[in-house]
Structures are given as C-alpha cells and as structure tokens.
Amino acid sequence: MREIKLTTKIAVYPIAECSEMEKKLIEAAKEATKKAYAPYSGFKVGAAVLLENGEIIAGNNQENAAYPSGLCAERVTIFFANATYPDQRIEAIAVAAYHNGGFTDDVITPCGGCRQVLLETENRFNRAIKILLYGNESVYKFESAKDLLPFSFGDKMLK
C-alpha cells in the first residue's frame, strides 16, 4: 500500500493588505450581492471576474422555486463573461456573500460544480485564475482553481 497526500496553498490576509485591483474586484463582488435573486435561501452571493482587457464583469446567484434549476453566482458570472467575451481570458475572480444582514465573517467557498467550471475555464484559456474569497475577517487567495479542486477530472482524461 502507498499513500498519496495532497496539499494546497492558500494565502490568508486582511482586506487592508489586498492590492488596489484585488480591492476593486472584491468591492464589485460585494456590490453584486445586492442584485442577487435569492428568495429561497436568503443567501446572496456576488462574484466578479477580471478579464485580461481590464474589464470587470459581475454577477450573482439566481434561484428558482424548482431548486436545482437555480445557479450559483460564480457560474452565472463566468458563463456571462465567456458568452460575452469568448476570447478574453479570465485572470481573477472574487466572491462575497451577504447573509442575515451583513457580509459573512467567514469566507464563502465555491461549491464543487463551480470549482469544476473554474477549472474548465483555466484549461480553456490556458491561464491560471486567481481566486479571492471574501469574509469580513479575512481574504483567502488561491493562485489557481487547481488549488481549490485537487485530484480533479479534466479534458486530458477524455483523450
């Protein structure tokens, strides 16, 4: 028997230590929570992506009475960005959540489906995407979707 141990790297720092661009992206994600459609969970998530041309695109979760038909903020935002600018690489994404009258103290962590879509987007554009997860207490930064989804399934397996 042999064991495989997977490790991942996350930079944790207060918002004050973010670069100006990181602050701007996080602010756009926070702002986007205000337009979320989350009547069932009351959990409003905002995401903002930075394109290589410098443009920021924001989106939020869209729920549905038939629950599985809704979609997370990350996927709404990434799909909209890719649908609008299919040739623009996504360089970074920020995610924030508003719940019970305030932004969450803990960082919001993307679900498995969104991690898979982040990974696909990285592979599609052959560029690692920086992932900034916001919480009132700190910001978590991942250098790549691979750090959020180790041991993942990807296009190479289909070849």
Distance of closest approach, residue 71 Cβ to ligand THU, in angstroms: 8
* Contact flags string 43-82 toward ligand THU, x per CB under 6 A: x-x---------------x-x------x-xxx--------
In this structure, the dihedral spanned by the alpha carbons of residues 74, 80, 81 and 82, taken in order and rounded to 10 degrees, is 100
Question: Which CB sits closer to ligand THU, 24 or 99?
Answer: 99
Question: Which CB sits closer to ligand THU, 53 or 150?
Answer: 150
Burial 32-60 (b: 16+ CB within 10 A, else e): bbeebebeeeebbbbbbbbbeeeebbbbb
Active site residues per annotation: 74
Distance of closest approach, residue 17 Cβ to ligand THU, in angstroms: 23
Number of residues that bind ligand THU (CB under 6 A): 14
Our finding on whether 8 is near ligand THU (CB under 6 A) is no
Q: 78 and 121 in contact (C-beta within 8 Å)?
A: yes
Taking CB under 6 A as the criterion, the residue among 114, 117, 129, 148 binding ligand THU is 114
Taking CB under 6 A as the criterion, the residue among 111, 124, 127, 155 binding ligand THU is 111
Distance of closest approach, residue 154 Cβ to ligand THU, in angstroms: 20
Contact positions toward ligand THU, by CB under 6 A? 38, 41, 43, 45, 61, 63, 70, 72-74, 108, 110-111, 114
